[in-house]
Structure formats: structure tokens, C-alpha cells
Amino acid sequence: MKRVLITATVASMIDFFNMDNIKILQKMGYRVDVAANFKKGNLTSSKRLEEFKKELQALDVGIFDIDFSRKALDLKKHVQAIKSLRGIFKNNKYDFIHTQTPVAGALTRIVAKSFNIKTLYVAHGFHFFKGSPKKYWILFYPIEKILSYTTHTLITINDEDYKRAKKFNAKNLEYIPGVGIDVNFPILSDKEKEEKKESLNLSGQNVLISVGELSDRKNHKVVISALSNIKELDFQYLIVGLGDRKNDLEDLIQQYDLQGKVKLLGYRKDIMELLQISNIFVFPSHQEGLPKALMEAMASGLPSIVSNIRGNSDLIIEGKGGYLFDPDDFDTLSEELQRVIGSPKLKEEFGEFNKNRIKDFSKEKVNSRMKEIYTSLNNS
């Protein structure tokens, strides 16, 4: 039987972005294995990881737990991970490898090259990008440039990365608009929306929401700072996600006396429902590839106020679907939030524009392209 290995630094990456790919490959007649760190660095709860393992087992997917480190310079862990990968490759014959994330993507391609196995690498957002720290360019750009020589197919998911990757040396370069989203999700009734709001003790007319890891990269603190300028307005702000900056955000909420208006919800499986009870999506990241959370918000018909960075600017058209702001400029963010909160017309117009625009990023279109790419890999 034909066989494929999918790798990522952490298992949650496979959970979030690869389940459709696994099913596509299985329908094409492949046996699929996955390799990732199932214990550390994940962006989901331990309970969800156990559920995810059971889902993979139910699909007859092979599971390899590798102690990948998310730290670029954790050389001892990287050497151990390479040894683990070599053991997997020795004991299993793969037709090609689908890999992603900077660390797993690099180590997997190094090992695959030594076994002469074709690799498909999905760059969910290069760490080097316009405006990124110089150290990222010094460290990550040469690595990706060199490893592109070992890459059969490189997939980029935003315009900036695609243009930059043209200077690399992968045999094939592809652009795909993200991982695809389900634009035909279940719609909550008005009664269900009210029940959902009640369960979260939401009483205001304006529910703002952000989705993403509680980290410096996701930059939730700028939204909290911006809201401190307009806290007399009627709003409640939900932040969905886990991360090591939770305590810092809680301190900031207390500092600005926003305890009754800002809620940290942690990890949630009901994202689409939460988006449907919200009125405005806020996405202040310093770095993105092509964010699924933003695409889901657009599909839910939410006006979106987002940082003006690669990925976000591929999705949100200024003044039509929302507003773009400098991720460190909380004063401008305050003004834009105030403008949208105070205008039912803008909410409706921006939301409808986003709902129509995001149809071009549907799961059906992305899955169709992935099947074509997998077929090409198999035939080359």
C-alpha cells in the first residue's frame, strides 16, 4: 500500500490544519502516519489531545510521538528528533512526506533527503517577513533558502511569501489560499444565540472577540489597552485561547479596571458558535500566515478590525470588510473600534462584504487543489 507521513512540531497543528488532508490521502489509497509532539507546546488542552489521538486511531492513522521542540536553537532536542525520524523512516517506506512548521519542517526535510524521499512543505507563514525582527532574517531565511533545494513541492498561503519563495529552489512552488474553511457551518437560531450569551453572562449589545494563542505574537494586550480608552462604551470582549501570557493579560485587565468587560475563555471547541454571538472580530497579531480564525470570522459575517500585516491584508479590504491598523498603535485601534461599535450600518456592510469574499477561500476549493498536488507528487 502507498504510504505518507505527515509531520508537524506539535500535534495541535495537525489537528487544526490537516484532518482534511488525511482524509483526502486515504481516499486516494494511502496509508497515513503522523509524527508530532503530543505532550509539549500544544495549543489545545490535554483532554483535546487525548480525544485527537482517539480520532486518529479511529481513522487507522499511525501515530508517532516525537519530542520536537518549538525553540529554534534547542539543538539537543533537534538531534534527538532527527534520530527519532530516522528510526521511523528506516522501519516504514514512504512515497512522500507532507511536513510543516519551521522546526519539524526543517528536520523532516533533512532526514527525508538522506533517505531520498520526496517532501511537500507547507509554509504556514515564514518567520521572516516585511517588518519582522532582523534576527529572524539572519536565522530563518538562510535555513529555508538552503532547505528549498531538498524540497519537491513548496506551498505558500499568502501573497508575500509566494513572491519571496520564487527566489528559492524548490522543484515546484504552489500558492493555496490557506487551509480552507467550511462556509456551510450550522447556523444558530436566535434562541440558541441568546442561550449561548446567557451561559457566558454576556449582557451588552456589542460583543467583541479575538481568537488565538495568549502570546506576544498574537498581541492581545494592544486590544485591552485600546479598550481602556473607550471603556465607557457598551461592549464585552472575549479572548479565546491558551498560552503563557495569561497572567500578564489578567494583570492588564485589572490595571485598566476592565474585569467586567474582558473575559479570557481559554481553549474552546465552539468557536463558530462564539463567532455567531459576536458583533466585531479583532485580530491584532504581529505575525500570521493566512489566519483561519480570521477567515472563520469573515464566514460568520463579522466586521473585522485587524493588524496590517501579511496574511491579514490578504483577507481584509480596508474600508470594505473592516479596518487595518499598525499592531502597536492602540490609539488608532481605539478610534476604529469606537467607529464600528457606534455604527450598525458599518457592522452590516462590512460583515456582508466579508461573508461574500471568503467564499473564494472555501474548504472545497482548497481540498481540490491539495488533491491535485498530491496526485502530481505521486506521478512525478
2-180+362-379 and 190-360: identical CATH topology: yes
Closest listed residue to residue 70, CA positions, set 40, 27, 35:
40
Domain parsing of the chain, residue ranges: 2-180+362-379, 190-360
Residues 4 and 188: their CA atoms lie apart, in Å, by 38
Pick from 134, 125, 135, 132: nearest CA to 105? 125
Please answer whether residues 354 and 7 qualify as being in contact, where contact means their C-beta atoms are separated by less than 8 angstroms: no
| CATH homologous superfamily, domain 190-360 | Glycogen Phosphorylase B; (3.40.50.2000)
Shortest CA distance to 178 belongs to which of 200, 156, 160, 210?
156
Instruction: For the chain, 380 residues long, give each residue's pLDDT as a single digit of tens.
Output: 899 999 999 999 999 999 999 999 999 999 999 999 999 999 888 999 999 999 999 999 999 999 999 999 999 999 999 999 999 999 999 999 999 999 999 999 999 999 999 999 999 999 999 889 999 999 999 999 999 999 999 999 999 999 999 999 999 999 999 989 999 899 999 999 999 999 999 987 899 999 999 999 999 999 999 999 999 999 999 999 999 999 999 999 999 999 989 999 999 999 999 999 999 999 999 999 999 999 999 999 999 999 999 999 999 999 999 999 999 999 999 999 999 999 999 999 999 999 999 998 999 999 999 999 999 998 88
pLDDT for the residue 379 = 86
Residues 285, 289, 295, 296, CA torsion sign? negative
Query: What's the confidence (pLDDT) of residue 236?
Result: 96
2-180+362-379: CATH class: alpha beta
Helix (H, G, I), strand (E, B) or coil at 171: coil
Q: Give residue 340's identity as a one-letter amino acid code.
A: V
Phi, psi of 153 (to 5 degrees): -135, 125
Strand ranges, E, within 71-180: 96-100, 118-123, 153-156, 172-175
